[in-house]
Amino acid sequence: MCSRRSRCQIVKAARRIASSLELNISINNLSDVDVVFFEAILQIITGLVPSGMLVIHPRYSEDRRNVYDRLESCIKEVSEVIQVPLAHIKAAELMHFEKSAVGNFLEIIEFLVDYFCEERIENIHPPWKSVDSMPPGDYEET
């Protein structure tokens, strides 16, 4: 259950997500799973920025209200993508790195990332375009 996730498990999940998206971001502890991390992931999986083209801005101390609003926006965006309200995940809890909130949100995002990666692979090589499945005469042999 997510509420029992350790900090180490959350960090490992965040690293898996970053690696799956080829996201060049350092995740060494729970505080690295922050608004910058969530925004970067959402920009890639929503198609705003192609993987590999994203520029990660350095983390710095920001106005707490700004961070709160950005986290609210991330929660809202994920909720719209999955078409399910995420009333159990609060921006304030994500801001304070509460393990259950971060773990629950990461679990949902990991599902979206897995789906995104599967779709991306299918779009690169659709199974119906296989040469083996084409009738004779529809292609030239070299």
pLDDT of residue 105: 96
Q: Which residues contact 84 (CB under 8 A, 6 or more apart)?
A: none
Q: Which residues contact 112 (CB under 8 A, 6 or more apart)?
A: 45, 78, 81, 82
Global confidence as pTM: 0.72
Residue 131 has pLDDT above 80, yes or no: no
pLDDT tens digit string along 24-61?
889 999 999 999 899 989 988 887 665 555 656 556 55
pLDDT tens digit string along 74-116?
999 999 989 999 999 999 999 999 999 999 999 999 999 998 8
Residue 2 has pLDDT above 60, yes or no: no
Question: Which domains, and CATH codes, for the chain?
Answer: 2-127 (1.10.418)
Q: Which residues contact 121 (CB under 8 A, 6 or more apart)?
A: none
| Cα 69 to Cα 90: distance, rounded to the nearest angstrom | 11
Query: Which residue type sits at 66?
Result: N
